Amino acid sequence: MSRMETAFSPIRAARTESSLHYRRRQWVNRIMLALCGVAAVIAFIPLVWILVYVIQRGYRYLNLDFFIQQPTPVGVPGGGIFNAIVGSAIVVSIACLISIPISLIAAFYVYERPNTVLGTLIRFSTDVLSGVPSIIMGIFAYTVIVLTQGHFSALSGGFALAIIMTPIVLRTTEEMLKLVPKTLREGSLALGAPDWRTALHIMLPAAMTGIITGIMLGVARIAGEAAPMLFTAFGNPFLSTDINQPIATLPHQVYVYAISPYRDWQDKAWATALVLIGIVLGLEFIARGVAAWQQRRLRVR
Amino acid sequence: MSAITQLRLKQRPSAWSELVRRLQHGDVIFRLLTVIAGLLVILVAIAIGYELWQNSALPRAAFGLSFLTGTNWNPVTEDFGALPFLYGTLQTSLFALLIAIPIGLGIAIFLSELAPEWLRHPVGFMVELLAAVPSVIFGLWGLFIFVPVVVKPLGQFLNSTLGFIPIFQAPVFGPSRLAASLVLSIMILPTLVAISRDVFLAIPQAQREGALSLGATKWEMITQNLIPYGLSGILGAVILALGRAMGETMAVTMVIGNNLDLTPSLLHPGYTMASLIANEFTEATSDLYRGALIEIGLVLFGLTLVVNIIARILVWRVARRIPMEARA
């Protein structure tokens, strides 16, 4: 009893010796913690604000024609963004074709030998690539492909996007491979399966859900990239499916419409933005949903 | 490698038949493929720097280091200097950090220390959604809604109260470096929040219990224990966010007003390096002009590279000390 009372207690000391000081600390605590909560609310404002405006100003233009028609010149009513939808699909597909195989295979190297010189270099390069601004990827694709070919092309756009996508897919694949129980891999190796068979038939299926999540996040990211499209895919007011020709993409179309001086086009910018944000956030939702579902499944096991 | 391979290596019939066997086995090919894919990733990272360097040879020869300090950007007389854009990039991204750091850390603290379990996931998810919104849509919103509604009045207020400071000089424009900074601060928020939240979550519980048991309030626990403990990770998050802000292109291009002059004021329209490239690259008619734009890209690449490497080292250091997943 007496020990308890002589033991130093800052709270009690503060209370008795300087109750003003104690109260000030309490108030600082309450105010600052409340401000942290306010900060969380502040983060919502722009997101909600953007979504509300894109939907409110974009939905009026949305009808079937907007999806399946080609753009009309300024002032001519109607018209759609079919060319940009097709173009985005083509450019993103090219990016996936280049990026996914390379990042998956490289991820296996990093997973199996993370601490070798090469493994460290790969991880370092991945980090570097994920930090390089997308416009720089555009310049890179321009110097490598557009200058060599002599013209803008869907291919160069896809190439730029592939470089942006690679670190995302590589990273998630590596993380997902790490989540696969080690015993699974060891079991396969112990049965005499070669490394490649283990990788292809055991590790890959086991990590598949996560890898697909990563790919979808990567696609969501590159589908919204306009900056590298400016001088690679370049944009095209007509429908084109030729990968050696300039091609329209959704984000680039939003930009072109938005900075135009015509009211009509500005309205179309909102509608195109609505389509784009629908695709990107849709992908994001599905990917996160799959990831959450996967996590719950693993936990139940 | 597995014990089986080692056993086999011990027998080692002959080098040739061993090679044939291993080729048939398939692992050599698999290993080779993984090495090639890995080398490709490294090669691309190097090639980006190389291409930028090669293609900016013309202006580097013509202007040398004075390119970085030149204040003129005149395609007609072919006189190029990067200072206005360096200034624009640094001013907007640093100002964006100034706004985003308190808010981002506040959210991270809220998510890791204060929010009840059921609230963490939805709020975290909303922040991730903010990261998923394409840059060009931020630009669209900024151009038509945010600038007239928020930036212009705020600029006028700043000018009327703090106008004696050069960076708040009149005249006040809507599309301006201030607009770019504010939009950037929103865009880098997710990076800041995600990494610093992970840093906070990785701090051992004993740190909190120790502080609280000594009578600290929760806020004192956060400022006196958690923040110093996770400081290098938080710094890493801040610097990564800086890198993102410097390279952000579309949204900035659409709200910054695109003005080539070097003026100190935050309330004036300006240019960042990224937005200059975005705006002028397709108009570049001569080789020198295009080379100068690529050299701007080279400078930007160098800056983001340095920033990212510093950030990675900081975050990796925390990661090594405490197990965590710090992904950007």
Q: Is A64 on the interface with B (CB under 8 A)?
A: no
Question: For residue A5, is pLDDT > 90?
Answer: no
B28 versus A56: the higher-pLDDT residue is A56
Nearest to B247 among A54, A128, A133 (CB): A133
Inter-chain residue contact A140 with B51, CB threshold 8 Å = yes
The answer to whether the CB of B276 falls within 8 A of the CB of B256 is no
Neighbours of A185 (CB within 10 A): 21
Q: Is A126 on the interface with B (CB under 8 A)?
A: yes
Strand B79-80, strand B73-74: pairing: antiparallel
The answer to whether the CB of A104 falls within 8 A of the CB of A94 is no
In a domain, residue B181? The reply is yes
Question: Which one-letter DSSP state was computed for residue A234?
Answer: B
What are residue A31's phi and psi, to 5 degrees?
Answer: -65, -45
Nearest to A130 among B36, B274, B328 (CB): B328
Tell me how far apart the alpha carbons of residues A204 and A180 are, in angstroms, rounded to a whole number: 9
Which are the contacts of B1, defined by CB distance < 8 A and separation ≥ 6?
A195
Question: For residue B60, is pLDDT > 70?
Answer: yes
- Together in a domain, B9 and B133: no
- Together in a domain, B22 and B114: no
Alpha-carbon distance B70 to nearest alpha carbon in chain A (angstroms): 22
Quick one: residue B258, left, alpha or beta (phi over 0 = left, psi -120 to 50 = alpha)? left
Mean pLDDT of the region A58-71: 87
Question: For residue A3, is pLDDT > 50?
Answer: no
Nearest to A251 among B39, B55, B136 (CB): B136
Query: Mind listing the pLDDT tens digit for each residue in B288-324?
Result: 999 999 999 999 999 999 999 998 888 777 666 654 4
ipTM of the complex, rounded to two decimals:
0.89
Q: Which of B:173-212 have CB within 8 Å of A?
A: 186, 189, 193
- Together in a domain, B86 and B8: no
Neighbours of B306 (CB within 10 A): 12
A254 versus A290: the higher-pLDDT residue is A254
If we measure between CA atoms, which residue out of B90, B100, B257, B249 comes closest to residue B172? B257
Confidence bin at B24 (pLDDT 50/70/90) = confident
Which residue type occupies A66? F
For A223, B143, B245, the CA distances from A260, given in Å and listed in that order, are 22, 12, 26
A14-18 long-range CB contacts below 8 Å, 24 or more apart? Answer: A14/B215
- Together in a domain, B51 and B77: no
In a domain, residue B62? The reply is no
- Together in a domain, B217 and B152: yes
Q: Is B129 on the interface with A (CB under 8 A)?
A: yes
Nearest to B305 among A128, A138, A171 (CB): A128
Q: Is A140 on the interface with B (CB under 8 A)?
A: yes
Query: Mind listing the pLDDT tens digit for each residue in A96-126?
Result: 999 999 999 999 999 998 889 999 999 999 9
Q: Is B309 on the interface with A (CB under 8 A)?
A: yes
Mean pLDDT of chain A: 89
Which residue type occupies A260? S
In a domain, residue B250? The reply is yes
Global confidence as pTM: 0.89
In a domain, residue B245? The reply is yes
The answer to whether the CB of B274 falls within 8 A of the CB of A135 is yes
Predicted local distance difference test score (pLDDT) of residue B6:
58
Confidence bin at A288 (pLDDT 50/70/90) = confident
If we measure between CA atoms, which residue out of A291, A230, A281, A286 comes closest to residue A255? A230
Tell me how far apart the alpha carbons of residues B31 and A258 are, in angstroms, rounded to a whole number: 49
The answer to whether the CB of B292 falls within 8 A of the CB of B59 is yes
Tell me how far apart the alpha carbons of residues B245 and B90 are, in angstroms, rounded to a whole number: 9
The answer to whether the CB of A135 falls within 8 A of the CB of B278 is yes
What are residue A7's phi and psi, to 5 degrees?
Answer: -60, 145
Question: For residue B7, is pLDDT > 60?
Answer: no
- Together in a domain, B171 and B284: yes
Give the pair of three-digit tokens for residue B179: 């607009």
Inter-chain residue contact A102 with B111, CB threshold 8 Å = no
In a domain, residue B66? The reply is no
With vertex at residue A262, the alpha carbon angle to CA A260 and CA A264, rounded to the nearest 5 degrees, is 115
- Together in a domain, B279 and B158: yes
- Together in a domain, B288 and B239: yes
Inter-chain residue contact A135 with B143, CB threshold 8 Å = no
Predicted local distance difference test score (pLDDT) of residue A122:
94
B313 versus B193: the higher-pLDDT residue is B193
Question: For residue A75, is pLDDT > 80?
Answer: no
Q: Is the dihedral of CA B111, B112, B113, B119 positive or negative?
A: positive
- Together in a domain, B21 and B88: no
User: Quick one: what percent of chain B has pLDDT higher than 70?
Assistant: 92
Neighbours of B313 (CB within 10 A): 12
Q: Which domain holds residue B173?
A: 71-321
Tell me how far apart the alpha carbons of residues A268 and A65 are, in angstroms, rounded to a whole number: 13
Question: For residue B325, is pLDDT > 50?
Answer: no
In a domain, residue B61? The reply is no
Nearest to B136 among A131, A133, A226 (CB): A226
- Together in a domain, B47 and B96: no
Q: Is A288 on the interface with B (CB under 8 A)?
A: yes
In a domain, residue B60? The reply is no
Helix (H) or strand (E) holding A300: helix A263-300
Size of interface A-B (CB pairs under 8 A): 278
- Together in a domain, B192 and B262: yes
Question: For residue B87, is pLDDT > 50?
Answer: yes
With vertex at residue A225, the alpha carbon angle to CA A223 and CA A231, rounded to the nearest 5 degrees, is 120
**How many domains does one find in chain B?**
2
Question: For residue B86, is pLDDT > 60?
Answer: yes
If we measure between CA atoms, which residue out of A275, A287, A203, A284 comes closest to residue B137? A275
Which are the contacts of B52, defined by CB distance < 8 A and separation ≥ 6?
A136, A139, A140, A143, B294, B295, B297, B298, B301
Q: What's CA B81's distance to the chain center, in Å?
A: 24
Residue B186, domain CATH? 1.10.3720.10
Alpha-carbon distance B263 to nearest alpha carbon in chain A (angstroms): 24
Question: For residue A2, is pLDDT > 50?
Answer: no
Predicted local distance difference test score (pLDDT) of residue B206:
92
Confidence bin at B12 (pLDDT 50/70/90) = low
- Together in a domain, B44 and B97: no
Q: Which residues of B touch A144 (CB under 8 A)?
A: 47, 51
Inter-chain residue contact B37 with A103, CB threshold 8 Å = yes
Confidence bin at A300 (pLDDT 50/70/90) = low
DSSP string, A13-69: HHHHH-HHHHHHHHHHHHHHHHHHHHHHHHHHHHHHHHHHHHHHHHGGG-SHHHHHS
Which are the contacts of B34, defined by CB distance < 8 A and separation ≥ 6?
A105, A106, A108, A109, A112
If you compute the radius of gyration of chain A from its CA atoms, what whole number of angstroms results?
A: 27
Inter-chain residue contact B26 with A194, CB threshold 8 Å = yes
Burial (CB count within 10 angstroms: exposed 0-12, middle 13-18, buried 19+), residue B35: middle
If we measure between CA atoms, which residue out of B289, B254, B295 comes closest to residue B86? B295
What's the 3-state SS for chain B?
Answer: CCHHHHHHHHHCCCHHHHHHHHHHHCHHHHHHHHHHHHHHHHHHHHHHHHHHHHHCHHHHHHHCCHHHHCCCEECCCCEECCHHHHHHHHHHHHHHHHHHHHHHHHHHHHHHHHCCHHHHHHHHHHHHHHHHCCHHHHHHHHHHHHHHHHHHHHHHHHHHHHCCCHHHCCCCCCCCHHHHHHHHHHHHHHHHHHHHHHHHHHCCHHHHHHHHHCCCCHHHHHHHHHHHHCHHHHHHHHHHHHHHHHHCCHHHHHHCECCCCCCCCCCCCECCHHHHHHHHHHHCCCHHHHHHHHHHHHHHHHHHHHHHHHHHHHHHHHHHHCCCCCCC
Tell me how far apart the alpha carbons of residues A112 and B38 are, in angstroms, rounded to a whole number: 12
The answer to whether the CB of B192 falls within 8 A of the CB of B128 is no
